[in-house]
Amino acid sequence: MLRLNDVRYRYRADAPWAVDGVSLALGRGEVLGLLGPNGAGKSTLMALVAGLRRPQAGAVELAEPAAVRGGFALVPQEYAFYPMLTCRENLEFFAGVLGLDGERARARIAAALAAVGLDAVAERRAAECSGGLKRRLNLAIGLVGDPQLLLLDEPTVGVDPQSRAFLLETVRRLRAEGRAIIYASHYMEEVQAIGDRVAVIDHGRVLTCGPLADLLAGATANVEVRVARAPDAALRARLAAECGLAAGSIGDDGWLEFALPAERLLEELLRDVRALAGPIVAVRHGCRDLEELFLQLTHHSLRD
Amino acid sequence: MTPLLATIRKELRALARDVHGLLVLFAMPAVFILVMSLALRDTFQPRIADKAHWLVWDGDGTPAAAALRAALPGGRPTAADRAAVEAALTRGEIQIGLLIEAGYEEALADAATKRPLVTVLAEPGLPPAVLAAFQGDVLRAVAAQRVNALVEPFRDTARISGVQLPDMDPAAAGALLETRFHRASGVALTSVQQSVPAWLVFAMFFVVIPLSNVFIAERQQGTWQRLRSLRVPVTTLLAGKVVPFYLVNLGQTAVMLLVGRYLVPRLGGDALGLEVDWLALLAMASAVSLAGIGFALAVAAVARTTEQATTIGGVTNILFGALGGVMVPKIVMPFAMQQVAAFSPMGWGLEGFLDVFVRGARFATLGAEPWLLLGFAAACLSFAAWRLRAAE
């Protein structure tokens, strides 16, 4: 339904690429979780897919039925609706913009309201809705054109756990209906919960992309070890060479951080460290999850 | 439903619920029209201050002095003496004192007399135009009386000779002069004829504040992005703003005409004359409206925040208004400043309206002003469309 081929975009000729050679594909009934630190290029990528920007190199290809007007919908992170209007009036407006009217419009509005559970508050002004209701309205507007491709940008920001669970369940239902969804978020657990595939993007490039299980299986976990006696420089060099001690990883509190590749057992690593550095007094073992993978790929440095 | 109709309906719904915004758009100019029509009344049509503001002392006490008092408009109270007039002036109770000196009647008939027959004592802050109007009324009455007094000795002789000498009525001496306005609609330029179009133009341009704020909010909240992602053209989105605010501007026009026609006279001002070509009035209102809306959209396209838009739009509007003769009528500006007014879109609007209201312009005889306004509107709208596309 969607294919990006080596897409590039930058805001000025002398600026670095905001999107740098991204190639992705998305099929029916698939959720692609899009992760990246602030300023990584996620929003630019979404804008390129939504047609708000034209790629300066490469191509964005939308296949039927997403290619027709209303065939895809962008649901921005902001509350992109009119607070003075009621929920229904907002939906009527966007239905009108899509050229829907009469019975067809009424049916689509009813379906969109039902999809996000807004029937009971349809006549309430958007400004008077809670944060959770506003998020649902934001999504409902995206659904009014019955799109087959949905671009969801941080759709659960600022909502309570109940609303978040409802929204995630709604996304699952939409996927089950055969819609393709790009789901951009900072919440790893959400992407982990609903993403069929995950793409991690940073500095405009896709660092990794694939089914979550595959990514985690190939990932390197981190192990932090505290030994009884602080190692000197010579010992640190041996630990780095023989046990994978991460460069500059000794914190003020004396924890040593080691990489644990998928093919190596934790037991083996601890045995080797003990042999070189003496008794181990504490161990912290990062499990292989999406957040750990994300931090490994994008590093710990603060972004915007 | 087309995207344009949907956008227009949405804007109208949102506008109808913005009570405060609408109140500003309608109440602000109405208040200005009331205040300025009353405040500038004497500047446009100087007239003798009413009886509360002037006092006469009759030091002559003759029938001629009484006739002079009677010839001036209204029955004026008479002070006991000259000192009472001066005291009233000092206390600020009056602005003008008229002193009819002793020997007034005698001096009227003396052709050789050069001394003043009456004295006008004026408060220094009195507007010169009001003082001049008062002086004119007094002088006219005195001159009529003097003509009568000078010809009186010859009446009997003239009658025998079959000649009818004039007997001028001091109160009706003004009938000898008629003033006509060239290209006039039959309505003189009064303060209300000036204030209604002036503040109407200002109010129509004032949509820059609500319109640009709505527009910038759309961009900040992602609604613009959402609409553009639905492939709604920029021109459609702009047109969707133009139509509802055009209707608001027409509503403002109707309300301000009613204020000038019915409310201002109730508070002591003149009534707005509406003997106009309504098609010409609609054309001018439309041209001003489109110029104001175009300007608002251009500001909205440039500004990044509502604060910026409010500042840019507000300051520019005040400048347009000050230069264009809205705040200070052009007739009281020096000639050089009147030339500067020709560069203000509000000046074009005001002149065009005055053509309709005062100079009797018809649709076919409207001057360059509506075309200038439409050109300004087209330039602003084109700039806004270009800027918004470029910003994407």
Minimal Cα–Cα distance from B205 to chain A, Å? 24
Model confidence at B387: pLDDT above 70:
yes
Distance CA A80, CA B224 (A): 8
Which pLDDT belongs to residue B173? 65
Tokens of A164: 């978040």
Which pLDDT belongs to residue A222? 75
- Cβ separation of A97 and B225 shorter than 8 Å? no
- Cβ separation of A96 and B6 shorter than 8 Å? yes
Which pLDDT belongs to residue A259? 78
CB of B51 closer than 8 Å to CB of B77: yes
Which pLDDT belongs to residue B348? 94
Minimal Cα–Cα distance from B244 to chain A, Å? 15
Model confidence at A288: pLDDT above 70:
no
The torsion angles phi and psi of A199, rounded to 5 degrees, stand at: -120, 125
Distance CA A139, CA A152 (A): 8
Residues 6+ apart with CB under 8 A from A28: A1, A148, A178, A179, A180
Tokens of B256: 């301000």
Among A90-104, A233-247, B3-17, the minimum mean pLDDT is found in A233-247
Cis peptide before A231 (omega within 30 of 0): no
**DSSP reduced 3-state for A2:** strand
Number of Cβ atoms within 10 Å of the Cβ of B164? 8
Distance CA B245, CA B204 (A): 9
Task: With residue B373 as reference, give the H or E element that holds it.
Answer: helix B369-391
- Cβ separation of A93 and B7 shorter than 8 Å? yes
Distance CA B257, CA B232 (A): 38
**DSSP reduced 3-state for A156:** coil
Interface of A with B (CB under 8 A): 47, 50-53, 69-70, 72-82, 84-85, 89, 92-101, 105, 141, 145
Which pLDDT belongs to residue B340? 81
Distance CA B203, CA B29 (A): 6
Cβ contacts from A onto B, under 8 A: 83
Model confidence at B80: pLDDT above 90:
no
Tokens of B252: 């403002």
Confidence of residue A253 (pLDDT cuts 50, 70, 90): low
Residues in chain B: 392
- Cβ separation of B223 and A81 shorter than 8 Å? yes
Distance CA B387, CA B35 (A): 40
Tokens of B170: 């001091």
Q: Which of A81, A82, A106 to mutate to test the interface with B (most CBs of B within 10 A)?
A: A82
CB of B51 closer than 8 Å to CB of B74: yes
Q: Which of B221, B231, B392 sits opposite A79 (nearest CB)?
A: B221
Distance CA B301, CA B388 (A): 6
Which pLDDT belongs to residue A220? 66
Averaged over B182-209, what is the pLDDT? 83
Which pLDDT belongs to residue A250? 60
pTM score over 0.90: no
Which pLDDT belongs to residue B203? 93
ipTM strictly over 0.85?
Answer: no
Minimal Cα–Cα distance from A212 to chain B, Å? 30
Which pLDDT belongs to residue A246? 73
Q: Which of A51, A70, A78 sits opposite B222 (nearest CB)?
A: A78
Residues from chain A that touch B5, judged by Cβ atoms under 8 A, are: 96
**What does the DSSP 8-state code read for residue A119?**
G
DSSP B214-244: HHHHHHHTTHHHHHHHTT--HHHHHHHHHHH
- Cβ separation of A70 and B230 shorter than 8 Å? yes
Who wins on pLDDT, B98 or B40?
A: B98
Burial of B244 (0-12, 13-18, 19+ CB in 10 A): buried
Q: What order do you get walking across the sheet with A19-26 strand by strand?
A: A19-26, A2-9, A57-62
Minimal Cα–Cα distance from B200 to chain A, Å? 27
- Cβ separation of A96 and B230 shorter than 8 Å? no
DSSP A190-232: HHHHH-SEEEEEETTEEEEEEEHHHHHHTPPEEEEEEESS---
Q: Which of A92, A97, A141 sits opposite B3 (nearest CB)?
A: A97
Which pLDDT belongs to residue A304? 57
**DSSP reduced 3-state for B159:** helix
Averaged over A138-147, what is the pLDDT? 93
Tokens of B230: 């639905």
Distance CA B362, CA A29 (A): 67
Among A30-44, B75-89, B153-167, the minimum mean pLDDT is found in B153-167
Among A45-49, A252-256, B96-100, B372-376, the minimum mean pLDDT is found in A252-256
Model confidence at A68: pLDDT above 60:
yes
Model confidence at B370: pLDDT above 50:
yes
Which pLDDT belongs to residue B71? 82
Q: Which of B10, B216, B227 to mutate to test the interface with A (most CBs of A within 10 A)?
A: B10
pLDDT digits (tens, 9 = 90+) for B306-332: 899 999 999 999 999 888 888 877 777
Tokens of B88: 């009233």
Tokens of A49: 């897919």
Averaged over B49-57, what is the pLDDT? 67
Mean pLDDT, chain B, rounded, equals 86
- Cβ separation of B3 and A52 shorter than 8 Å? no
pLDDT digits (tens, 9 = 90+) for B358-368: 888 899 999 89
CB of A8 closer than 8 Å to CB of A17: yes
pLDDT digits (tens, 9 = 90+) for B104-143: 988 888 878 878 889 999 887 777 777 888 888 888 888 8
Minimal Cα–Cα distance from A75 to chain B, Å? 7
Which pLDDT belongs to residue A286? 63
Mean pLDDT, chain A, rounded, equals 85
Confidence of residue B51 (pLDDT cuts 50, 70, 90): very low
pLDDT digits (tens, 9 = 90+) for B198-207: 999 999 999 9
Q: At B231, which amino acid appears?
A: R
Model confidence at B245: pLDDT above 90:
yes
Model confidence at B52: pLDDT above 80:
no
Minimal Cα–Cα distance from A244 to chain B, Å? 47
Residue in B with minimal Cα distance to A92: B6
pLDDT digits (tens, 9 = 90+) for B248-297: 999 999 999 999 999 998 988 888 888 889 999 999 999 999 999 999 99
Distance CA B360, CA B277 (A): 8
**DSSP reduced 3-state for A269:** helix
